[in-house]
């Protein structure tokens, strides 16, 4: 019985190696990573608000630091630097994430007016959300 268990364990390992099993196998694409995508959406929200509201600015250094933490998260999930760069540069993924950020902002009352962007920005900052942590009210 012990011998059969060793054979089965060896077979599982052999199949994993043959299929190229890695930490990224659980999440086949970075698009499946909730942590990374949620973070990128937060960055997009903060960036758009800071561009549309003259009373709010982006915390640039904090933003770069946060983006680096997202890259580390992606690496920890088993993705290579090449996979991460390809994902970040993918136009369809950018459009998808921008769409999610804009959907969120619309759901919070942003109607395209400067006042609505400023209102949401102040709310995000006060609530200390991830997007709020990436902005500063002037």
Question: What element of type H or E holds 7?
Answer: helix 2-18
Residue 91 is predicted with a pLDDT of: 97
Split into its structural domains, the chain has a count of 1
Q: What are phi and psi of 58, to 5 degrees?
A: -80, 145
Please give the residue range of the domain that contains residue 80: 2-137
- pLDDT of 27: 53
Q: What rounded mean pLDDT belongs to the chain? A: 86
Residues 6+ apart with CB under 8 A from 63: 43, 46, 47, 134
Where do the H-state alpha helices sit in 19-138? 34-52, 60-76, 81-89, 91-107, 114-127, 130-133
What's the CA gap between 28 and 53, in Å, rounded?
37
- The pLDDT tens digits of the residues spanning 85-125 come to 999 999 999 999 999 999 999 999 999 999 999 999 999 99
Q: Give, in degrees to the nearest 5, the angle at Cα 40 between 35 and 44.
A: 150
- The reported pLDDT for the residue numbered 73 is 97
Percent of the chain with pLDDT over 70: 80
Tens-place pLDDT, residues 44-94: 999 999 999 999 999 999 999 999 999 999 999 999 999 999 999 999 999
Predicted TM-score (pTM) of this structure:
0.79
The vertex-106 CA angle with 105 and 111, nearest 5°, equals: 110
Residue 31 has pLDDT above 60, yes or no: yes
- How many percent of the chain have pLDDT more than 90? 79
Residue 37, SS3 per DSSP: helix
Neighbours of 82 (CB within 10 A): 8
Output the pLDDT for position 51.
98
Strands 135-137 and 56-58: antiparallel
pLDDT at 28: 83
């Amino acid at each position: 019985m012990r011998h059969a268990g060793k054979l089965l364990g060896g077979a599982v390992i052999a199949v994993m190696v043959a299929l190229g099993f890695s930490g990224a196998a659980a999440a086949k694409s970075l698009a499946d990573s909730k942590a990374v995508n949620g973070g990128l959406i937060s960055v997009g929200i903060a960036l758009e608000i800071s561009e549309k509201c003259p009373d709010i600015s982006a915390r640039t250094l904090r933003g770069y630091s946060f983006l680096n933490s997202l890259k580390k998260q992606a690496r920890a999930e088993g993705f290579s630097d090449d996979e991460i760069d390809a994902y970040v540069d993918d136009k369809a993924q950018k459009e998808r994430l921008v769409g999610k950020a804009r959907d969120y902002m619309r759901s919070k009352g942003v109607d395209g007016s400067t006042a609505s962007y400023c209102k949401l920005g102040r709310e995000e900052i006060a609530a200390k959300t991830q997007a709020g942590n990436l902005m500063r009210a002037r």
